[in-house]
Structure formats: structure tokens, C-alpha cells
A = this chain, B = another copy of it.
Amino acid sequence: MYDLLFSNISKHIILDEREAAIVQSLFKPRVLRKRQYLLQAGDISRFENFVTKGLLRAYTVDRDGDEHIAMFAMEGWWISDMFSFLTETPATQHIDALEDSEVLHIEKPDLEKLYREVPKFDRFFRILLQNAFVANQQRVIASISETAEEQYLNFIRKYPTLEQRIPHHQIASYLGITPETISRIRKQRL
């Protein structure tokens, strides 16, 4: 279960044994059943989570009760309500499991300790965040410039794995379109 975390880390930085031991001591495993919350809006997001098994989502709920999915996270991905985590204010997002899942999580004080004792983790997360920034920027451009059909087809082209594992209406919620629209697109294109 720590293997996936270490292989992920080693893509960007090299750890010696002492450093690996520190990582192992600071990240705690947690098991989640399908539909179980990892974080509820209103609570403070106290962890940064690395998914080792399964699939989670982060989403907001608007005043009409409609859900809008901010991100998915499957094996090897990270997830949190970063704003809440950084500012220690109540989360606006919920995070829950779409499948039975396992995560390794680190508390904020421990993450700060990690930065202090193994400064190269600043570099590691800097690189992850650069990639996340690019991905998010592309998503913004897509959402302001593409039709529903283009967005959906590009999504399943970009994330074929996710498309297999996620109900269509969740993809709709991620793209900001309705399940009916997805159904009609699929009818004529697939």
C-alpha cells in the first residue's frame, strides 16, 4: 500500500532510507467503503490524501441541492479540499468514495514536519502542483470554449479508465451538463 506512494514520489525526487522511513511514519492508511465520506462540507479539511485503491470525488452542493464535481481521484492521485486545508476554514467541498477505497493521509502538522525534515518535498509538491495547474487550466478553457458534445468526447478520450468506472451522470456533473445530454450524445456518436 505504501509501494504506490513511494513509486509515485520516486518519479520526481529520490529518497534515502531515513527519508523513506519518515514518510512511512507520517502517512497513515485509511479504508473507506463505497459512499463513505472522507470529508464533509463544513468540517475543516485536516488531511492531504493519496489514493492507493479505489476512486473518490470532491464536489460542492449548490443552494438548489445540485452537485458539482470538482475532481475525481483514483489510484496514484491526490485529493483534498485544498482551500480548507491551507486556510483551516470550513470546507466547501464534500469528498466521498465512489468505490471501496484506501488512502494514505497526512495531517497538516505532519506535512509541515515533512517539509522541515525533508525539504525536497517542497520540490515534489511543486511539481505535482504544476501538473495540476496545467490540467485545471485546460479544463477551464474547455468549459468556456467547447460544446457539451466536445467536452464529453474529449473527457472520455482523455480519461478512458474513468469513463469505465464512473456512472455517466457523475461525468455530467463534472462537466457541468445534464445526464440527458450525455445520453443523447452517446446515442448518436457511439
Contact = CB atoms under 8 A, between A and B. Distances in A.
Contacts of A71: 137
A133 B133 CA distance: 6
Interface of A: 60, 62, 66, 68, 70-71, 82-83, 86, 115, 119-120, 122-123, 125-126, 129-134, 136-141, 143-145, 174-176
The complex is assembled from copies of this chain, and their number is: 2
A68 B144 contact: yes
B62 A145 contact: yes
Contact of A176 (B62, B82, B120, B144): B144
Contacts of A120: 119, 122
Contacts of A174: 144
B141 A68 contact: yes
Nearest to A138: B83
A22 B136 CA distance: 32
Contacts of A82: 130, 133-134, 137
A176 B145 contact: yes
Contact of A68 (B125, B139, B145): B145
A142 to B, nearest CB: 10
